[in-house]
Amino acid sequence: MKKFLSTYKTAIILLVAVIAGSIIGIVFQEKATILKPLGDIFLNLLLVVIIPLVFLTITTSISKMKSPKRLGKIMVSIIIVFLITSIIAVIIGFASISFVKLVDTEDGEQIKQGLETVQEEEKEESEEELTIADRTVQLLTVDDFSKLLSKDNLIALLIFSIICGIAINMSGEKAEPVKKLLESANEVVQNIVKIIMYYAPIGLGCYFASLIGSYGSQIAVGYLKTFIIYLVVSVAYYFIIYTIYAFIAQGKNGVKLFWKNVLPSTLTSLATCSSAACIPVNIECSKKMGVADDIAETTIPLGTSFHKDGSILGSVFKIMFLVCLFGTTIATTGDVMKILGVALLANLLVTAVPIGGGTISEMLIITMMGYPVAALPILTIIATIIDAPATMLNVVGDTVSSMLVQKIVDKKA
């Protein structure tokens, strides 16, 4: 028992905090939102440390790689794993929802009438100013160094960090002072994360209480069906698909290590609804699963922006919701491939921020599927109600992907 408590001490404390927060949210309902500021403090602390953490972990990890071939092998392996697992996610998403009618005709009419607001018009104007090419440029790069210090430009920061790491590696011994400085700074940041995590039980508990208190009694029946089906699919995906991935990565021992260490990442993702906020916890969990430092510190930050199993499943649900709402027919293989393709492409443009960060993705879905811009608030509501389980799959999907990358790079059985 002592060994069990010692091994799972942190996870148990977090789980108790989440359960306590959930009970408070159920009992006190909207009154529980008074605890939201305490949860926001935890989330804000994590988000503040994200920028230096991502830059330092990726840069130092790449700069320490002795072989350029290893860096290339890691990056190629990451792309392969992300692509294959994303395709699997979109196929499973479509298979699980294609035979379900998410919206009844009467409910659909009420939804369309009730969601035409001034806010929607403002979003339409702001989104139409940029083409997809312009959005992609803004996603990958910034025009001022100071903008790299914003979590809204995390993908641009990732690219810049990789370039910096490669440059330091290329410079050899001349860059040793810089390398040592960054490694020291990285050590300090890691300790900052540890300090922040001391507050995690309070922060997560309050966040859960506020979340359940806010949405527990306010989700309309039309969206409740979507939420329930998505939740069932997410839970099945979490337990079945990720167990299979862990087994492929390291066999029975991989499954054991995965389930032994994945709980902190799972709980943090459910409470914060932010993939970015989970980066420090997720990297630590991956390392405990036997993933090499350089692989964990590269795969997790990159996965936060480019690999989102939960968001891909969510995109399929959003598209199918609109299909039912507007009575679109899916009669040919081409129709199915279009849905799968749009769901995949849309998630290349999802940034690693909490609720609201997927607006560009949702606009892409609407544009490519040919639906009116008035449908944007519909997708925003769906994104909101499925955000917690979607983030969980996004985060844990990165964890198990790091194990798969480890297998490819180091050829572990």
Out of 14-18, 174-178, 360-364, the most confident range is 174-178
| Residue among 9, 5, 301 at smallest CA distance from 156 | 301
Q: What is the pLDDT of residues 88-98, one digit of tens each?
A: 999 999 998 88
Q: What is the pLDDT of residues 213-257, one digit of tens each?
A: 765 544 455 577 888 899 999 999 999 999 999 999 999 999 999
Out of 53-57, 231-235, 303-307, the most confident range is 231-235
Kindly report the length of the chain. 413
Query: In which residue are the tokens 């039980």 written?
Result: 201
| Residue among 339, 300, 321 at smallest CA distance from 375 | 321
User: What domains lie within the chain, and their CATH numbers?
Assistant: 11-410 (1.10.3860.10)
| Residue among 90, 144, 160, 171 at smallest CA distance from 348 | 90
| Residue among 272, 26, 55 at smallest CA distance from 153 | 55
Classify 360 as helix, strand or coil.
Answer: helix
Angstrom distances, CA of residue 250 to CA of 113, 167, 236: 52, 33, 21
pLDDT of residue 339: 87
- The rounded distance, in Å, linking the Cα atoms of 318 and 230 is 11
The per-residue pLDDT of the chain, averaged, comes to 80
105 C-beta neighbours (distance < 10 Å), count = 10
| Residue among 110, 85, 74 at smallest CA distance from 295 | 74
Query: pLDDT band for position 149 (50/70/90)?
Result: confident
Helix (H) or strand (E) holding 239: none
Angstrom distances, CA of residue 262 to CA of 65, 117, 255, 258: 27, 41, 11, 6
| Residue among 88, 104, 98 at smallest CA distance from 336 | 98
Query: pLDDT band for position 12 (50/70/90)?
Result: confident
Query: In which residue are the tokens 């027919």 written?
Result: 329
